[in-house]
Amino acid sequence: MTQIATEAPRETYSRRSARAYVLSALGPVTVVAGIVWALLQPYRLTFLHPRDQGFWWLLVEPQLLVMLVGALFHFLVVPSLLEDLNEFDEEEP
């Protein structure tokens, strides 16, 4: 009986640079900072005590905005930046 030897496809593992890890972590770290800020200063959250506050004052909380910006950065900006960073790293010898 004859055996046919074939090469198994090699998976290429590309190491991510430290810049890519830092860039990927900026959004989640910002969201966590907003949560920590809300926990450390709950008196700043006016929706916990909404007396004499309008709708926009309740909606636009600084801590909520920080969390929103972190999430938007992570999901909308980071993917394209990582793609550009990978292209840049591939060009360098």
Backbone phi, then psi, for 48, in 5-degree steps? Answer: -80, -25
| pTM across the whole model | 0.72
pLDDT tens for 1-11 read: 667 767 666 55
Cα–Cα nearest to 90, from 37, 21, 14, 27: 14
Which long-range CB contacts under 8 A does 24-27 form with residues at least 24 apart? Answer: 24/74, 24/78, 24/82, 26/70, 26/73, 26/74, 26/78, 27/70, 27/71, 27/73, 27/74, 27/75, 27/78
pLDDT of residue 73: 97
More confident residue, 68 or 5: 68
